[in-house]
Amino acid sequence: MLSDPAFIAVAVLAVLLIGLSKSGFGGAMGGLSVPLMSLLITTPQAAAIMLPIMLVLDALGLVVFRGKSDRANLRIIIPGGMIGIVLGALTFHFVDARWIKAVIGIEALLFGVDRLRQVRAAGGETGVPAVAKGLFWSSISGFTSFISHAGGPPILQYLLPQGMDRVRLVGTTTIFFAVVNFAKLLPYGVLGLLDMSNATTSLALLPVAPVGYWIGLKLLKRLPVAPFNLVVAIAMLLTGLKLVADALLN
């Protein structure tokens, strides 16, 4: 893989996107990374290569966003994420990843359109943590994250309508995905996805990750609320389009 210039170019872009997404936009663009790499390698292999990189970024995020998360939401969504991981591990060899991408892509498109409507209307949504809704969306997020690291759109469907401060939003998703991603290690190992070839590729791409993370942090600090919401909405639309396209064309 590392001798293929096309793969290197796509992989570098994917790693930049995952870093940017994690630090700046709560995972809104993270769902693009694996589909991009899947243009040249299989989806399970792309997911396996991205996992160690995401774990490093998650560890960094736990330091950067320490004390900046919503504990009430985390008490709901972390158990839901674990449920989704268990479901993903049990069904990994039976589920067609294309249809998972299609469903999550359509869901992301619809949600992105709704977010654009909210931005144009300048609507100030407010909400509170809800157990049933939180468990539902976080379980889907854990499941889709396990299959193809596309857990961003489902969890944002639950968190964004609460209208929380954008730093607290990103801090909450940071902790959620840190727990989810570290919990994937054991089942990924059991499924044989963590081999030396994938690990070597992950290590070679790792230096790119902090660059994307730094860019995301700068944008998070400088973007006002309205542009932040607009970028998230557009990112959701792009992610949805990419996931649906992959499902239909592959």
Least confident stretch, 24-38, 136-150, 199-213, 236-250: 24-38
What sign results for the dihedral spanned by CA atoms 30, 31, 36, 37?
positive
Angle in degrees, CA 14, 167, 128, rounded to 5:
110
Q: Can you give the pLDDT at residue 136?
A: 95
Least confident stretch, 17-31, 55-69, 188-202: 17-31
* pLDDT of 138 over the 90 cut: yes
Tell how far CA 61 is from the center of its chain. 14
pLDDT-based confidence at residue 178 (cuts at 50, 70, 90)? very high
Tokens matching residue 58: 């998650």
Q: Residue 33 and residue 19: Cα distance in Å, rounded?
A: 10
Determine contact, residues 40/4, Cβ cutoff 8 Å. Answer: yes
What is the count of structural domains for the chain? 1
pLDDT-based confidence at residue 144 (cuts at 50, 70, 90)? confident
How large is the average pLDDT for residues 114-136?
Answer: 73
* pLDDT of 176 over the 90 cut: yes
pTM for this entry = 0.79
More confident residue, 235 or 30: 235
Domain range enclosing 196: 5-249
Determine contact, residues 46/38, Cβ cutoff 8 Å. Answer: yes
Q: Quickly tell me which residue has 């309508």 as its tokens.
A: 161
Q: Can you give the pLDDT at residue 237?
A: 80
State the CB neighbour count (10 A cutoff) for residue 52: 21
Tokens matching residue 47: 């997911």
Q: Chain-wide mean pLDDT for the chain?
A: 82
25-58 confidence digits (pLDDT tens): 766 666 667 777 877 787 778 878 888 898 998 8
